[in-house]
Amino acid sequence: MSSVAVIDYGMGNLHSIAKALQHAAPDVSVTVTADALAILQADRVVFPGVGAIRDCMHALKQAGLDEVIQTVAKTKPLLGICLGMQALLTDSAENGHNLCLNIFSGHVVRFPEDLHDHEGTRLKIPHMGWNQVRQNRHPLWQGIPQDSRFYFVHSYYAQPDDASIVAATTDYPEPFACALAQDNVFAVQFHPEKSQAVGLQLLNNFLHWDV
Amino acid sequence: MSLAKRIIPCLDVDNGRVVKGVKFVDIRDAGNPVEIARRYDREGADEITFLDITATHDNRDTIIHVVEQVASEVFIPLTVGGGIRTLDDIRRMLNAGADKVGINSAAVFRPEFVQEAAGRFGSQCIVVAIDAKKTSQDGEVARWEIFTHGGRKATGIDAIEWAEKMVAYGAGEILLTSMDRDGTREGFDLPLTRAISEAVAVPVIASGGVGNLDHLADGVINGKADAVLAASIFHFAEYTIQQAKEHMRARGIEVRL
């Protein structure tokens, strides 16, 4: 039986992600853990996160999990979700300036204040709700229709230096990178665990991804 | 390509059963919350909100079991409100599988609670629920005030100022209920909805008064709401969520279908 470890570093609710992984692939063993060895022994790793980046990086370093994630990123399939995606960039403008894990080269920035769509209607921040995801070619999109809607809730987003690692974009109102892919690392700004059938499909694809 | 407006069915849960009253009387039993949540998920609900109206403290754990059960099989955002007074209440709801909690009277009694909650759990999971009632007379400049105790107790707090303050304190979203309209089926209080939605940067969910599908579309188009919440029109299968979305789309609103 293949296994997936969900990294538990005390940030947010991991019940949803664990339940969704179990539901998406009953043939995979799901463990929620803060234990470095358990994470390093799992076949795949999910790195979730909600809240603020400073707390996130602090909690990771406290637990020594920053180095564990660096090792995972070099060796096996890793899925970053929401704040777990943002933490994989070089740095983030949230809470001033925070150095992150630098697995993807690039920055995390905030949506501008006073955002408007092309008709002049004001756009709310956080970007919250179901928005369309324009896929670039990648095996993790298998079985998911182009422009499917996924559930987002965030005020910051990733700006990678290398456009070729962008696996999908979403418009708010300008296109931003809502998924990044580089070798065995995949990361999404939206919440697949809260995106009903298409989200479960993406999780299932990740759990059967042969890099 | 743009963000969809959300339709959120709301389940008022009393002792583990879904109920719905008109103006807080004549409460009708509408069934098992887990079964109803399952149906709404199948019909394409964008989120589901549970409002726990259980009066006795002893029976409050029932809502936790409902959330646990729903969260293990329904993979859309879940919000739980009603009786959230402490950080521990929030933690218990999030651990049970809720994604957001609604804070209402606890914020009125002690606004700093919202700051503490957002600081601990993040703004993304803190919804401040506002119950507002019109206090101005016809011909005067419109004014709405915050009411507590199911709309019976005035606080003297201006609703727009309150919404701005709650966002400054870390609310990630506002759930706005018109106590004049709740249960009447006459439609949202559109001027109220619009005033609050234009005053704050975070999303606003309109609530209170939906009696038909046009009311939902009006909430978005005229009320400028980012999401619309309704209970009774969905519980008794007058309309499905799917029908509501098709209707909104026909009126030019972007929805997830």
Here the CATH number for the domain that contains residue B110 is 3.20.20.70
Residue A204 near residue A156 (C-beta atoms within 8 A): no
What average pLDDT score do residues A3-9 get?
95
Q: Does B71 sit within 8 Å of A15, measured CB to CB?
A: yes
A56 sits in which H/E element: helix A53-62
Q: Where are the beta strands (DSSP E) in chain A?
A: 3-7, 29-33, 44-47, 78-81, 91-92, 98-99, 106-110, 115-116, 122-123, 127-132, 134-135, 149-154, 156-160, 166-171, 175-182, 185-188
- Residue B44, classed as helix, strand or coil, is coil
> B124 contacts in A (CB within 8 Å)?
50-51, 126, 128, 153-154
B99: left (phi over 0), alpha (psi -120 to 50) or beta: alpha
B26 in Cβ contact with B20 (< 8 Å): no
Q: In this structure, is residue B166 part of a structural domain? A: yes
Q: What pLDDT does residue B26 have?
A: 59
Rounded (to 5) percent helix, strand, coil in chain B: 40, 25, 35
CA distance A13 to B254: 30
The count of structural domains within chain B is 1
Q: Is the residue at B153 inside a domain?
A: yes
Candidates B40, B73, B124: best to mutate against A (most CBs of A within 10 A) is B124
% chain A with pLDDT above 70: 99
Helix (H) or strand (E) holding B95: helix B87-96
The answer to whether B76 contacts A51, with C-beta atoms less than 8 Å apart, is no
User: What is the radius of gyration, based on Cα positions, of chain A?
Assistant: 16
pLDDT of A113-125, one tens digit each? Answer: 889 998 888 999 9
* Band (A52; pLDDT cuts 50, 70, 90): confident
> HSE of B51 in the Cβ direction (CA atoms, 13 Å)?
21
Mean pLDDT of A187-195: 97
Extract the tokens encoding A76.
């096996």
Q: Is residue B217 part of a domain?
A: yes
The Cα angle at residue A169 between residues A25 and B122, in degrees rounded to 5: 70
- The pLDDT value recorded for residue B119 is 87
Token pair of B56, please?
């006795």
Whether residue B256 lies inside any domain: the answer is no
* Residue A56 appears among annotated catalytic residues: no
pLDDT at residue B98 greater than cutoff 90: yes
Res B149: pLDDT? 83
Over 70: is that where the pLDDT of B45 sits? Answer: yes
Please check whether residue B257 lies inside any domain of the structure.
Answer: no
Scanning the structure block, which residue is given the tokens 């401040």? B128
Full domain range(s) for residue B21: 6-250
Q: Which domains are assigned to chain A?
A: 3-207 (3.40.50.880)
ipTM: 0.94
| Predicted local confidence at residue A173, as pLDDT | 96
**Which is more confident, B56 or A169?**
A169
pLDDT tens digit sequence for A76-134: 999 999 999 999 999 999 888 999 999 999 999 999 988 999 888 899 999 999 999 99
